[in-house]
Amino acid sequence: MFQFKQTHINFMSKRHLWMAMSVILVILSIVALATRGLNFGIDFTGGTVVEVHYDKVVPLSKVRESLHAHGFKDAQATNIGTAQDVMIRVAPKLHEDRSKIGDQVLSVLQASAGGQVVLRKVEFVGPVVGKELRQDGSLALLYTMIAILVYVAFRFEYRLAIGAVIASMHDIIVTLGVFAITQYEFNLTVLAALLALLGYSLNDTIVVYDRIRENFRRMRKGSPVEVVNTAVNQTLSRTVMTSLTVVLVLLSLFFLGGSVIHNFSVALLVGVVFGTYSSVYIASSLALLLGISKADLMPVKKGEVDDRP
């Protein structure tokens, strides 16, 4: 339905400027993470989970307002199963008897509901569990990075693998930096978004890398910069259309999906923007910086010895 004409934009002429800007963004993100830190949610810090049942449907916004007005500032409310069943997560407080939190939450809800509210279950998630989730989440990101490095090195060439991993790390660090600066809550849904972002960023990079490899074999007289520029221009329409459709979906989730997936959509929105940018100006530029050439991507003929580094 939509067809873009072949562009001839010299993306690589500004690669040093954009790489310098990326370095600044990464440094700012690391400083923000070191000084402000992430605002970890109950999934990682521990807390109390209270499940209640209403005799009629009550808007979650009203439940949250009631809890926030009575001192439960970080309380989260979500429906479970039906619109009458609500799960409430309350962050831990120092010197507070956690055994009384369930009764306190129930009394607040009963006073504001105008109907019957039944307490179904009260559970406490300790800080040890939250610490294990943080560790497991960090390991999941690390193992994904290693898998990306091995996959791209096996499929293409080690210089391209290094570029892909650094570009993915760039996207993750900048996204974490945004969460550190804004102090949006970092919970399990955001962690899931980061893992999804790694896959999206890698896919975008692989498309460009695949075209770079093809062009190195087809463009006999082109310099590495010309080959990379041509590859980026050839994949530009696909990149724009893919990113645009993903962003439209994420904007729908952001505005219409509710508070439960609000931070999830924020993480992916930031990540998709920087992931699209990094596939051009980080992954491709690093391949040139590391000295990728036609000889590195040409297949080794049968009987020849592969003496490439």
AA letter at 144: T
Residue where one domain finishes, among candidates 75, 96, 125: 125
Count of other CB atoms within 10 angstroms of residue 298: 12
pLDDT at 115: 64
pLDDT category, 273, cuts 50, 70, 90?
Answer: very high
Could you report the per-residue pLDDT of 45-90, keeping only the tens digit for each? 778 888 898 888 888 888 888 888 888 877 888 887 788 888 888 8
Could you report the per-residue pLDDT of 5-28, keeping only the tens digit for each? 677 888 888 889 999 999 999 999
- Residues 212, 148 within the same domain: yes
- Residues 112, 225 within the same domain: no
What average pLDDT does range 226-235 have in this prediction? 90
- Residues 55, 118 within the same domain: yes
Could you tell me the maximum CA-CA distance found in the chain, to the nearest angstrom? 83
**CA atoms lying within 13 Å on the CB side of residue 75:** 27
Selection from 146, 160, 166 nearest residue 26 by Cα:
166
- Residues 20, 103 within the same domain: no
Q: Where are the alpha helices (DSSP H) in the chain?
A: 15-35, 42-45, 60-69, 101-113, 127-155, 158-182, 188-218, 224-234, 236-256, 262-278, 285-289, 294-297
Selected residue with higher pLDDT from 265 and 145: 265
Count structural domains, the chain. Answer: 2
Q: In the numeric block, which tokens belong to residue 29? A: 């993100």
pLDDT category, 220, cuts 50, 70, 90?
Answer: confident
AA letter at 286: L
Selection from 96, 42, 104 nearest residue 260 by Cα:
42
CATH number, domain at 218? 1.20.1640.10
pLDDT category, 129, cuts 50, 70, 90?
Answer: low
Residue 6 belongs to some domain of the structure = no
Could you report the per-residue pLDDT of 111-122, keeping only the tens digit for each? 887 668 888 888
Contact 38, 180 (CB under 8 A): yes
Could you report the per-residue pLDDT of 256-270, keeping only the tens digit for each? 887 778 899 999 999
- Residues 33, 69 within the same domain: no
Containing domain of residue 278, as a range? Answer: 11-40+130-296
Q: How far apart are CA 12 and CA 107, in angstroms?
A: 63
Residue 309 belongs to some domain of the structure = no
DSSP structure class, residue 300:
P
- Residues 186, 216 within the same domain: yes
Residue where one domain finishes, among candidates 73, 98, 125: 125
pTM above 0.85, yes or no: no
What average pLDDT does range 177-206 have in this prediction? 89
Residue 169 belongs to some domain of the structure = yes
DSSP structure class, residue 146:
H
pLDDT at 152: 77
Contact 285, 11 (CB under 8 A): no
Residue where one domain finishes, among candidates 106, 125, 144: 125
What average pLDDT does range 140-165 have in this prediction? 82
Residue whose pair of structure tokens reads 């409430």 in the numeric block = 88
pLDDT at 305: 44
Contact 80, 54 (CB under 8 A): no
Selected residue with higher pLDDT from 305 and 295: 295
Residue 137 belongs to some domain of the structure = yes
CATH number, domain at 62? 3.30.70.100
Could you report the per-residue pLDDT of 91-103, keeping only the tens digit for each? 776 556 667 788 8
Q: Residue 165: exposed, middle, or buried by beta-carbon count in 10 A (0-12, 13-18, 19+)?
A: buried
Average pLDDT across the chain, whole number: 83
Q: How far apart are CA 267 and CA 175, in angstroms?
A: 6
**CA atoms lying within 13 Å on the CB side of residue 14:** 8
pLDDT at 98: 67
The yes-or-no verdict on residue 307 having pLDDT over 50 is no
